[in-house]
């Protein structure tokens, strides 16, 4: 089993996807807060380089789920400087596989179009998207310089898939369900010959709009949606 250290394991994503990954990988969970489900977790602040490099010791891969959205100072320290600390640490320990997550950076500009997949990212000026984008550029530089296979998953919303018919709900664009992110992480941890050692992927479980496809993730990773959730939004027509 590969040993994978998870940063941000107690946040809004980690508790929902790490159980699926623990079936296949030996996980070391870390965060600045205790795990909400009581699982063993090491206290690690990714703003602290020494703490990050200690957490990376003996690991085969890194999954970074750490994020701050609403504070302009903390978002820089976590989303950008934290990625630099991770990048420096994986170089020090010879780790060659890193996964990050972040916000989509195309909806503001391309929502009126269709078949939007591998287009240039446009983070805008909001500090959340901008600090995540700067973190991506740091990771890209380290990946190319040191041959670190680095993947960034980008999405708009993330949560559970519907369990029943959505009589009043809308069919949301660019939304990912937990199970598909688990699948994507497994694929990224195992993919061979990642082009240029760095790739970002728009991930989406709601493909029926035809607006934000996943051709790139399908081509490089072999990603496929687990369940086509459009059936939960179908309504009878008189």
Domain boundaries, the chain: 3-233
For 3-233, CATH gives 3.40.50.720
Tell me, what's the pLDDT at 238? 66
- For residue 63, give the nearest of 146, 154, 150 by alpha carbon: 150
pTM: 0.94
Residues 6+ apart with CB under 8 A from 92: 53, 56
Look up tokens 């949560």; give the residue.
159
pLDDT one digit per residue (tens) for the chain, 238 residues = 699 999 999 999 999 999 999 999 999 999 999 999 989 999 999 999 999 999 999 999 999 999 999 999 999 999 999 999 999 999 999 999 999 999 999 988 998 899 988 888 999 888 999 999 999 999 999 999 999 999 999 999 999 988 888 877 777 888 999 999 999 999 999 999 899 999 999 999 988 888 899 999 999 999 999 988 888 888 777 6
Tens digits of per-residue pLDDT, 93-104? 999 999 999 999
């Amino acid at each position: 089993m590969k040993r994978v250290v998870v940063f941000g394991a107690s946040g809004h994503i980690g508790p929902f996807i790490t159980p699926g990954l623990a079936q296949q990988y030996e996980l070391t969970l870390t965060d600045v807060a205790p795990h909400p489900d009581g699982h063993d977790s090491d206290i690690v602040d990714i703003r602290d380089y020494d703490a990050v490099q200690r957490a990376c010791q003996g690991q085969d891969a890194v999954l970074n789920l750490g994020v701050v959205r609403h504070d302009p100072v903390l978002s820089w320290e976590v989303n950008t400087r934290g990625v630099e600390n991770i990048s420096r640490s994986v170089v020090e320990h010879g780790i060659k596989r890193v996964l990050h997550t972040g916000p989509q950076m195309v909806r503001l500009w391309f929502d009126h179009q269709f078949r939007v997949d591998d287009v240039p990212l446009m983070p805008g000026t909001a500090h959340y998207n901008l600090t995540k984008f700067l973190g991506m550029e740091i990771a890209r530089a380290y990946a190319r310089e040191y041959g670190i296979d680095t993947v960034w998953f980008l999405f708009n919303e993330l949560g559970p898939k519907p369990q029943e018919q959505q009589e009043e709900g809308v069919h949301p664009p660019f939304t990912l369900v937990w199970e598909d992110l688990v699948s994507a992480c497994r694929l990224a941890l195992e993919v061979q010959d990642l082009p240029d050692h760095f790739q970002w992927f728009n991930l989406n479980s709601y493909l029926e709009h035809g607006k934000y496809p996943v051709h790139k993730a399908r081509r490089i990773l072999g990603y496929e949606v687990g369940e086509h959730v459009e059936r939960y939004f179908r309504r009878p027509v008189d």
